């Protein structure tokens, strides 16, 4: 964690916000480790409620219920990152398909590949008919092309995953960029890049067979990027803090998408800009069906289509955190690599938004 980001963005206690609606400033209580100008281990404290938030491997865990989050994510938080490749492979075989380790490696492979494989000198050129890595970066560039005004910081990327798009945003502005996500194994890839200027992820060949990718990167603006573990529905900020918000392919992963839009609007300054993308790939495991934007109730006025429903919501800024639609692209290609012989293709709906001036 960069102390400069913490002091400039002034985060508040997410527990106090959730339980009491109070905006209590957090403080760095103890620094237990530092490297390359970052706090790698420490404790953040709320003087009001006494809640402590850990900083682990450079990532502060700023979530409303620390105990529940740590209980659920403990295997990922304490996972070894220094195992020799052969020993990691053996443990992966022993854990087997469907294990926590298998799920973590699959996610890191799919999203690590798309975010960073284009920078990997060992990555082979795509075969005829295959997609090149970097779809999420191409999606971001298409979204930024919809903006009527130049990009201005500070910037928050909600659901940043491994973080390549956060680095891309830093290259487009001279302000601070904050990437937030709840997925520690994915966010840790970006955190490792900040600390070591290297990307290290398991690239899946097939089944339980992975090849370790480990290569140096040099990304412009990386010194203005930081990554925090945060809940998109409980961002630790007292009010408008950012001039630009982005959330790529996140909306259909939230338990309450409308609350997600409201959270985006709440941290955005008046007249600030935002972009979001979604393929509307709804799943009841992520979003209860009653909160889906489309994808059901085909007897309704929109026939179950998501796009007109989102447009209607964004046409009523009070229902979407003050956000209003300014431009859109009907479909931008995005894909997720599963292994050498499998690729999931999506078409994301991309919208550019502006925060209305509060009455």
pLDDT, tens digit (0-9, with 9 covering 90-100), for 134-181: 999 999 999 999 999 888 889 999 999 999 999 999 999 989 999 999
Are 41 and 177 contained in the same domain? no
Q: What is the secondary structure of 292-334 as a DSSP string?
A: -SSSS-TTSTTTT-SHHHHHHHHTSGGGTTTEEEEEEEEEEEE
Q: Is residue 211 part of a domain?
A: yes
Q: What's the pLDDT score for residue 317?
A: 73
Segments of the chain scoring below 70 in pLDDT: 357-359
Enter the pTM of the model. 0.95
Q: Are strands 52-56 and 59-62 parallel, antiparallel or unpaired?
A: antiparallel
Same domain, 67 and 92: no
- The widest CA-to-CA distance across the chain, in whole angstroms, is 61
- For residue 93, being part of any structural domain is answered with yes
Q: Using an 8 Å Cβ cutoff, are 214 and 192 in contact?
A: no
Q: Are residues 67 and 114 in the same domain?
A: no
Domain that holds residue 113: 85-355
Same domain, 95 and 212: yes
Same domain as 322, residue 214: yes
Look at residue 128 in the predicted model and tell me its pLDDT: 82
If asked whether residues 161 and 236 sit together in one domain, one would say yes
80 in a domain, yes or no?
A: no
How many structural domains are present in the chain? 2
Looking at the structure, do residues 330 and 288 belong to the same domain, yes or no? yes
Identify whether residues 23 and 160 lie together within a single domain.
no
Per-residue confidence (pLDDT) for residue 356, from 0 to 100: 86
**Do residue 110 and residue 67 come from a single domain?**
no
Answer yes or no: do 177 and 47 share one domain: no
Q: What is the pLDDT of residue 358?
A: 55
Q: For the segment 198-246, what is each residue's pLDDT rounded down to a tens digit?
A: 999 999 999 999 999 999 999 989 999 999 999 999 999 999 999 999 9
Q: Identify the pLDDT of residue 321.
A: 86
pLDDT attached to residue 3: 96
CA dist., res. 20 & res. 160, Å (int) = 28
Torsion of CA 27, 31, 32, 34, to 10 degrees: 130
Count of Cβ atoms closer than 10 Å to residue 196 Cβ: 14
Q: Is the domain of 275 the same as that of 342?
A: yes
């Amino acid at each position: 964690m960069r102390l400069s980001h913490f002091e400039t963005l002034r985060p508040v206690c997410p527990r106090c916000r959730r339980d009491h609606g109070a905006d209590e400033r957090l403080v760095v209580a103890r620094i237990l480790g530092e490297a390359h100008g970052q706090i790698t281990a420490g404790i953040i404290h709320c003087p009001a409620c006494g809640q402590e938030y850990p900083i682990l491997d450079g990532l502060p865990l700023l979530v409303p219920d620390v105990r529940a989050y740590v209980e659920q994510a403990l295997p990922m938080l304490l996972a070894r990152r220094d195992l020799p490749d052969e020993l990691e492979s053996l443990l992966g075989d022993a854990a087997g398909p469907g294990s926590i380790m298998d799920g973590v490696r699959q996610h890191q492979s799919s999203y690590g590949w798309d975010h960073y494989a284009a920078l990997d000198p060992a990555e082979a050129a795509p075969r005829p008919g295959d997609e090149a890595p970097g779809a999420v970066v191409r999606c971001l560039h298409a979204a930024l092309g919809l903006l009527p005004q130049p990009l201005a910081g500070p910037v928050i990327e909600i659901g940043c995953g491994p973080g390549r798009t956060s680095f891309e945003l830093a290259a487009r502005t001279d302000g601070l960029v904050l990437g937030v996500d709840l997925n520690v194994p994915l966010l840790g890839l970006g955190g490792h890049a900040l600390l070591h200027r290297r990307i290290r992820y398991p690239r899946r060949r097939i089944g339980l067979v992975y090849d370790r990718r480990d290569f140096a990167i040099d990304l412009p603006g990386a010194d203005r990027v930081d990554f925090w573990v945060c809940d998109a529905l409980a961002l630790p900020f007292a009010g408008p803090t950012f001039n630009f918000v982005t959330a790529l392919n996140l909306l259909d992963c939230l338990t309450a998408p409308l609350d997600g839009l409201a959270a985006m609007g709440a941290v955005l300054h008046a007249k600030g800009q935002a972009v979001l993308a979604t393929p509307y790939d709804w799943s009841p495991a992520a979003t209860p069906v009653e909160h889906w934007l489309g994808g059901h109730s085909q007897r309704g006025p929109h026939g179950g289509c998501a796009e007109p429903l989102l447009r209607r919501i964004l046409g009523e800024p009070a229902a979407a955190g003050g956000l209003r639609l300014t431009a859109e692209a009907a479909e931008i290609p995005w894909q997720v690599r599963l292994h050498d012989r499998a690729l999931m293709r999506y078409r994301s709906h991309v919208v550019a938004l502006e925060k209305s001036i509060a009455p």
